[in-house]
Structure 1
Amino acid sequence: MPSKTLRADTFVVGSGPVGCAFARTLVQAGQHVVMIDAGPLMSPRPGAHLKNSYQYQRNVDLFTSVIQGHLHLLSVPPNDRPEVTLDPSAYRFDRSRFKGFVTDGQNPEQDPQRNLDAEAVTYGVGGMATHWTCATPRHHPVLERSDLLTAVEWNELYQEAEKLLNTRTDAYDMSVRHRVVHEALSEEFTELRDPYQVRNLPLAVERRTDDPSMVHWSGADTVLGPLAIMNLEEDCSLLVRDEASGGSLTLYPEHLCRRLALTPDGERVEYAEVVDLTRSAPIRVEAGNFVVAGGAVLTPQLLSASRVDRPALGRYLHEQPVSFCQIVFHQALVDSITADERFTDRVNEHHKRNPEDPVPIPEDDPEPNVWIPVGEQRPWHCQIHRDAFHYGGVPPNVDSRLIVDLRWFGMIEPRAENRMTFSGCCHDTFGMPQVTFDFTLTPEDRATQHRMMRDMLRAASVLGGFLPGSEPRFVAPGLPLHITGTTRMGTDSQTSVVDTDSRVWGVDNLYLGGNNVIPGSNASNPTLTSVALAVKSARRILSPAPA
C-alpha cells in the first residue's frame, strides 16, 4: 500500500535540463507539475553546475574528481581473475562449482566485446548538467538533424532552447589562449567555408560582470529560471509557485519511479509507482500526463520495467566514437604572444605581478573554447579547449596554461542491431532491470573514424607537441556519454518508440524526453537538440491534437 498519493497535471521523471525544460514550459502555462529524481540535491539551487565553485574555476583539473564521483558505470562484465596476493588464510571458494555467481554488481549477461565499457549515468538533481561541458551546438541541417521537423520548426525550437540554456559564443573572446588557438587553426584549415570554418564553440555559459576572470556555467537550474528559487517543505520536497500563471512545481529528490501502471487497455498511464528512497516508503502519483526524461538508458529501462514494450525500444543505439589527445603549445606560439600588440597590456600587467613567471599568459587567462563544426566532407565535431574530464589527467610538473585538449567526436550509422536490453533476473543498485549493451561498428564506421583521427593529428601538429600520457588515442566506448536513439522519434511504430511530439506510440498520455529521442546520426553534443525537442513535446501536452 502506498504511504501517500500525489496528484498533478503532469508528472516528470528526471530533473536534468530536459526534464526542467518540460517543467518550466508547463508550469508557466499554469500547470501543477510534480518532478522526481532518484539522486540527492547537491546545491542550494536545484541542479546548479558544480563547476561554478571558485576553486574549480581557478584550477579546472581539480574538478576531475567531482566528475568521477558522480558517474555510475552501467554494465561491468564479470571478472574471474583471482587475487593471487590475497592472504592464503582468507576465505575462498571453487569458482568452477559456482559459475553463475558474480560479485560487486557485475553483469553476467554482458559480452565484453560488445560492451560500452565507460557508459555511465549520474544520479542527482540536475543529472549530468551538474558537471557537463556546456557545449550546445546546433546539429548539422543535413547530416544530423531529423527531417521529421521542417527547417522553420528547427530554427524556432533551437532559438527557444538556446534561451533556456543561455547559449553564447562570446564568453571567451577576451582569452589570450583562445585567440592564439583560433587563429592558428584558421590558418591551417583554409579550405573550410562559412559556416563550417573554425569558430567559437557555442557554450551554455556567461562571463560574470563582477569578476570577468570568472564565468557562470549553466545547469538545470538555468533552464528552470525563476522556478529554481524554491522553498523547502516539511516532507523535504521543494516547492515553487509561479504567480503569473498560477502553476507550481514540486521537486522530490531521492525518489525513484519503479513502474508506470497502465490502464487495462494499455492506452494510458493510470499512475506511477514511486519509492521515497530516504524512507523506503511507496508513493502513488496520479497525473493527467506523464513525462520520462531520465536519460538514454534509464528512460528505456523504466519503460521495460513497466512492460511498455515497443519493437524499437533500446534499439538504434548510437554512441559517438571519440579520438583524444592533449598538446603542449609550440614554443613559437607562446613566443608570439609576447610580440602581439593586442596582448601587450595584459602580458605586461601579468609580469608586473609575477616577475619570476616566464610564461606570457596571465594566470587568470580563460581557457580556449574553439570549434570546428560537422561538415559534409568532415562528419565529425571538433572541440579544442581545456576542461575537466575523468580521463586525460595533467602531470603536476607541466604548466596547465600551456596545455590544450583536442576531442574529435565521430558519428556512425544507426542500426537496429546496436541495442540495449534489460534483464529479467539481474538488477542494478536501485533494483531496476540491469542493462546490457550490444554494440559494434561497421567496416564503414571504422574507416570513417580512422579519417577522423588523421584530421585530429593535423590540428594537433599545428598547436604543439603531445603531452606525455595523453598521446592520440580513441577513448573507451561510451565515454562521451552521448547515447541517442534508444527511444527514437519517427513516423513508424515498428522502427520508432515515439511520434514527432515525443509521445509513446499507443499510450495517449506518456511522453519521453532526452537524447534517447534523437533518431539519427550525430557527432555534435546532443543536449541543445534534446531541449528543443522537449519544448516541442511540452507544447503538445498543453495543446493536444484533436482526436
Structure 2
Amino acid sequence: MTDDRRYPDAVDVVIVGSGPTGAAYARILSEEAPEATIAMFEVGPTVSNPPGAHVKNIEDVRQRALAQERSEGPGAGAATVDSPGAVTAGTRAGRPGTYLLQDGYQAEGEDGLPVAAFSSNVGGMGVHWTGACPAPGGKERPDFVPGFDDLLEDSRRVLGVTTDAFDGAPYSQLVRDLLAAVVDHGRSAAERVQRMPLAVHRREDGRLVWSGSDVVFGDETRANRNFTLFDESLVTCVLLEGGEAAGVEVKDLRTGEVHSVAARYVVVAADALRTPQVLYASGIRPDALGRMLNDQTQVVYASRLRDVAPPPGVDVAESGTLREQSGVSWVPYTDDVPYHGQVMQLDASPIPLADDDPVVPGSIVGLGLFCAKDLQWDDRVAFADDEVDSYGMPAMRIHYRLTDADRRAIAGARAEIVRLAEAVGDPIGSEPFTLPLGSSLHYQGSVRMGATDDGTSVCSPDSEVWIAPRVFVAGNGVIPTPMACNPTLTSVALAVRGARSIAKDITENTDARERTHDKEVHA
C-alpha cells in the first residue's frame, strides 16, 4: 500500500488526496475493479500507523501531539486551541492538527472565513475529526441523486459507523430524555433526539477505536497490490488531452522533482478549498467553480445536570474532554427547526467553577447547533493568477457574507440553544457563544453537484466534472444543498457513487477488450 518513492509512468486511476472520500474511491475500486491500477497522492506526511489512522488512537500523548504538529503543514508551530469552544472572540487559532489560511480569508467589507483551516497529512481531516456521521434530512438531502439512501448505508459500512460505542456512559439516556421532552413533539421517528451515529467502535478489550481513512481503506485496499499511496507528493495540475483526463503532474516534496503520471481517470479529493484550487491550476474553470461556498455557523453553550451523583468508581477530581463518562447525542435538523444539534457530555466545565464545586464527570453537557447557510452565488473561493500559496499553488481569496436570513437563523439558533440548555439543567455562562466563521471545518459547495449541466454546478450526479470528462471531484465541496449536519457521511456516500461509476466503466472496457481479443484468437 505504501510507496518506495518511484512514481509510476501510468495507472488507470489517480486519486488526489487521502481523506475519507479519496479513501472511499480506493476502497470501492479495490472491491469492484481490483484489476485497476491506482496511485494516490497526498501532499502531507504519514503521521499514524496504519496510514490514515485517527490520532485519537495514538495512546502516547507525546506521539499524538507530534502527529498533530506534523499535520499542520506550513502552519506547524503556530498556537492552537484544544476545542472550538475554547476560541474566544477575535482569536485566530486552529485546532491541533490543522493550520489556518493565512491570507485572503476576508475581503474588505465582507464577513469572510477568519478561521478557515486545513490539514496536510495522510488521512486528511479524517485523522482529526469528531467522527459524527448523522444523515441529512429535509432540504439537506440531494434528492436528485438516485439511490441516495442506499449510498448512505454503504457510507456507514466503509466508515465503520456505530451508535452504541458510548452506551455505557452515565446520564446519556437522561440527557436524551430531557432533550426529547422539549424537542420530539410532532417529529417523525428519524427526526427525534437519539444517539449520535459515530465512526467509532469498541474493541473486545473495551478500548475505543476512532475511524480514520485507515478504516475506509479497509483490508480490501491494503491487500490490493494494484494500489499505491505516495505521501509528501503535491499534485500541481490535472493533465488533459482533448478536454478529457490524461493524468497529473506531481511534485515530490522530498526531492523537488516533478513527474507526469498518465491516467485514464483522475479523482480530485483534496478538500473543499484545495479541490477547486487544483482544477483552477489545471485550466478547468467552469463558471460554478468555487461558488456557493457553504460554511456552517456554529452556536455553542453548556449546561449542568441537576442532582446527579458520581458514577461508582469515578474520581470527581478527574478532568478532560471526551472520555468514558461521555455520551454523544443528536438533535436532528428539520426544515421547520433548521439546526443540527450535537450534544456531548464533558468531564470538565468549559467555564471555571468554584474550587469547592467539583464537577461530576458526565454532568456537564456541551451543546452545539450548526446552522444551514443561505446559499449565495457570490459566496466563493477564488484564486489569484499572480500570487501563490506556501505550496506554490494559486493563492486563495475567500468571498463570504452572512445574509439577513443567515443572521436571523443565527439568532434563532441562539434562542433554541438556550431553550435546550434550560431543559437539560442549569446553563453555564450568561449567554451562548457564536464561533468565528470557518470554525465548523465543514466547508461545502465549492465543486457542487448538479442534476443537469445548467451552469450552476461543477459535476454530475456521478461526481464527474461536466466540462472535463473522466475528471472526478470528491469531498464535502461536492455537496450542493444547504446542509447543517456534519457532512462526512454524505460526501462519502457521493464518493461511493462516483467510484462505482469508474469501476463500471473500467470493468466494461476490460470485458470489451477481452471479447475483442477472443475473437482475434479464434479468427
Q: Please report the TM-score for the alignment, with normalisation by the length of structure 2.
A: 0.83
Could you say which structure has the larger radius of gyration? 1
**Partners in 1 of 2:504 and 2:8 — Cα distance?**
27
Can you list the C-alpha shifts for 1:227-264, whole angstroms capped at 9, x where unaligned?
565xxxxxxxxxxx43xxxx52100110000111222x
Q: 1:50 to 1:386 in 2, by over 3 A?
A: farther
Quote the residue 2:331 is aligned against. Answer: 372
Does structure 1 residue 206 correspond to structure 2 residue 201? yes
Quote the residue 1:167 is aligned against. Answer: 161
Can you list the C-alpha shifts for 1:101-154, whole angstroms capped at 9, x where unaligned?
xxxxxx7x84363311111111000000111010111111x311112124xx01
Can you list the C-alpha shifts for 1:27-77, whole angstroms capped at 9, x where unaligned?
232111100100000012011011123467xx99xx965973421212535
Q: Secondary structure of the equivalent of 2:377?
A: coil
Q: Secondary structure of the equivalent of 1:195?
A: helix
Q: Secondary structure of the equivalent of 1:485?
A: coil
Can you list the C-alpha shifts for 1:287-324, whole angstroms capped at 9, x where unaligned?
11100001100000001111101010011111111101
Quote the residue 1:145 is aligned against. Answer: 141
Which shifted more, 488-497 or 395-404? 395-404
Does structure 1 residue 277 correspond to structure 2 residue 253? yes
Judge conservation of contact 2:372–2:482 (CA < 8 Å) in 1.
yes
Q: Secondary structure of the equivalent of 2:50?
A: coil
**Partners in 2 of 1:394 and 1:386 — Cα distance?**
14
The residue type paired with residue 68 of structure 1 is R
Quote the residue 2:443 is aligned against. Answer: 483
Q: Secondary structure of the equivalent of 1:461?
A: helix
The residue type paired with residue 370 of structure 1 is S
The residue type paired with residue 331 of structure 1 is R
Quote the residue 2:520 is aligned against. Answer: none
**In the alignment, which of 208, 216, 226 is matched to residue 223 of structure 1?**
216
Judge conservation of contact 1:417–1:438 (CA < 8 Å) in 2.
yes
Quote the residue 1:233 is aligned against. Answer: none
Q: Please report the TM-score for the alignment, with normalisation by the length of structure 1.
A: 0.79
Q: 1:259 to 1:494 in 2, by over 3 A?
A: same
Q: 1:449 to 1:68 in 2, by over 3 A?
A: closer
Say what the alpha-carbon RMSD is for the aligned residues: 2.9
Judge conservation of contact 1:134–1:217 (CA < 8 Å) in 2.
yes
Judge conservation of contact 2:17–2:270 (CA < 8 Å) in 1.
yes
Judge conservation of contact 2:16–2:235 (CA < 8 Å) in 1.
yes
1:156 deviation in Å?
1.1
Unaligned runs of 5+ in 1: 78-106, 230-240, 339-346
1:24 deviation in Å?
1.1
The residue type paired with residue 136 of structure 2 is H
Does structure 1 residue 383 correspond to structure 2 residue 377? no
Q: Secondary structure of the equivalent of 2:13?
A: strand
The residue type paired with residue 41 of structure 1 is T
Judge conservation of contact 2:246–2:265 (CA < 8 Å) in 1.
no
Does structure 1 residue 9 correspond to structure 2 residue 12? yes
Q: Secondary structure of the equivalent of 2:110?
A: helix
Judge conservation of contact 1:303–1:309 (CA < 8 Å) in 2.
yes
Quote the residue 1:313 is aligned against. Answer: 289
1:492 deviation in Å?
2.1
**Partners in 1 of 2:164 and 2:24 — Cα distance?**
24
Q: 1:330 to 1:484 in 2, by over 3 A?
A: same
**In the alignment, which of 409, 412, 428 is matched to residue 373 of structure 2?**
412
**In the alignment, which of 304, 307, 331 is matched to residue 306 of structure 2?**
331
1:271 deviation in Å?
2.5
The residue type paired with residue 299 of structure 1 is T
1:387 deviation in Å?
7.4
Unaligned runs of 5+ in 2: 69-80, 84-93, 510-523
Quote the residue 1:93 is aligned against. Answer: none
Judge conservation of contact 2:338–2:372 (CA < 8 Å) in 1.
yes
Does structure 1 residue 186 correspond to structure 2 residue 175? no
**Partners in 2 of 1:423 and 1:121 — Cα distance?**
19
- Summarize the alignment of residues 433-472 of structure 1 with structure 2, pairs less than 5 Å apart: 433-467=394-428, 471-472=431-432
Judge conservation of contact 1:114–1:437 (CA < 8 Å) in 2.
no
Judge conservation of contact 1:372–1:382 (CA < 8 Å) in 2.
yes
Does structure 1 residue 511 correspond to structure 2 residue 508? no
The residue type paired with residue 215 of structure 2 is T
1:225 deviation in Å?
0.7
Judge conservation of contact 2:236–2:281 (CA < 8 Å) in 1.
yes
Does structure 1 residue 22 correspond to structure 2 residue 15? no
**In the alignment, which of 55, 58, 72 is matched to residue 53 of structure 1?**
58
Does structure 1 residue 251 correspond to structure 2 residue 278? no
Can you list the C-alpha shifts for 1:380-424, whole angstroms capped at 9, x where unaligned?
100101579xxx966496646432211100102222111110011
Quote the residue 2:86 is aligned against. Answer: none
Judge conservation of contact 2:20–2:213 (CA < 8 Å) in 1.
yes
Quote the residue 2:273 is aligned against. Answer: 297
Q: Secondary structure of the equivalent of 2:384?
A: strand
**In the alignment, which of 36, 45, 48 is matched to residue 43 of structure 1?**
48
Judge conservation of contact 1:422–1:434 (CA < 8 Å) in 2.
yes
Quote the residue 1:101 is aligned against. Answer: none
